[in-house]
Homo-oligomer: A and B are copies of this chain.
Amino acid sequence: MVTTDTAPLFDRVAIVGIGLIGSSLARALAEYGIARQVVCADRNPEACAKALELGIVAEATTDLAAALAGADLVVLATPVGSFATVGEAIGPLLKRGTIVTDVGSVKQATLRDIGPHLPDGVHLIPGHPVAGTEHSGPEAGFATLFQGRWCILTPATGADRQALARVTEMWRRVGSTVEIMEASHHDRVLAITSHLPHLIAYTIVGTASDLEEDTKSEVIKFSAGGFRDFTRIAASDPVMWRDIFLNNREAVLEILQRFTEDLTALQRSIRWGEGEQLQDHFTKTRAVRRGIIDAKQA
């Protein structure tokens, strides 16, 4: 559900980092009339040139100060690992009343790395649109990316209510359903629904690519048996994922430990021919799929 028949929410939105998510949001904000003007900053001049060429922003610059001048909303859409540096750089440029949000997949890192750099009267509303594709760069974005998806906001205790309401409304207007939760809880839930699956997919595809050349070509040929789904996940942006793992280390390592224990148990059942244990386990996992279908997330 996209609403276009209401007044713009923001005068000037500055998006920092014009990759898949940044450029999708830029498109949506302009197309749905959510912002009067959308500009972007990116340290890569080629990305800026591309964004202008695509016509998705009014201005694109490598100069943060130029992009942020007059912005009432700043959206950080760079890899999570850059947040401390970006926070330090934008802090002095922000005027009172500006709202700062982000789209990072780890949320405690936003509060930790951006929060301390913001002057009084600037409102931080960390956000995570649970949406994406395995493609990267400004040309990979599209305005409908967020439709029917969740966006999780993790404001700190005492965050400005009006700022929260405006960021919530922005995501609602691009088609998302907003959920508000604590940053630490977000990081734990996403560690299992997203971070661990990506780590596993990256691992298995790496294992396959280390096989002898002739076997590897057959792995590609017969990839439809399950492997193919993993390669799609494992084609996601390497820098973005490096930063996610490094910045959600505790939660990822904790869930990885549980996963490894469970895998070892299944491995042992296979080795010792314990058919009943295997069948019981495989029957139980069917029920989880059922839950996802019932929750209309399939």
- Chain B residues with CB under 8 A of A206: 262, 281, 284-285
| A112 → chain B closest CB, angstroms | 15
- Chain B residues with CB under 8 A of A221: 150, 179, 295, 297
Tell me, yes or no, whether A180 is within 8 Å of chain B by CB: no
Stretch at the interface among A22-30, A51-59, A85-93, A195-203: A195-203
- Chain B residues with CB under 8 A of A271: 249, 253
How far is B207's CA from A258's CA once the two chains are assembled, in angstroms? Answer: 7
State the majority secondary structure of interface residues on A: helix
Tell me, yes or no, whether A278 is within 8 Å of chain B by CB: yes
Stretch at the interface among A61-69, A114-122, A157-165, A229-237: A229-237
Task: Determine if B284 and A219 form an interchain contact, defined as CB atoms under 8 angstroms apart.
Answer: no
Tell me, yes or no, whether A6 is within 8 Å of chain B by CB: no
| A14 → chain B closest CB, angstroms | 27
Task: Determine if A130 and B222 form an interchain contact, defined as CB atoms under 8 angstroms apart.
Answer: yes
Tell me, yes or no, whether A149 is within 8 Å of chain B by CB: yes
Stretch at the interface among A41-49, A94-102, A167-175, A185-193: A185-193
Task: Determine if A224 and B192 form an interchain contact, defined as CB atoms under 8 angstroms apart.
Answer: no
Residue among B220, B226, B298 making CB contact with A201, cutoff 8 Å: B226
Residue among B232, B238, B281 making CB contact with A298, cutoff 8 Å: B232
Tell me, yes or no, whether A21 is within 8 Å of chain B by CB: no
Interface residues of A (CB under 8 A from B): 81, 130-131, 134, 149-150, 152, 179, 188-190, 192-194, 196-211, 215, 218-236, 238-239, 241-243, 245-246, 249, 252-253, 255-256, 258-260, 262-263, 266-267, 270-271, 273, 275, 278-279, 281-292, 295, 297-298
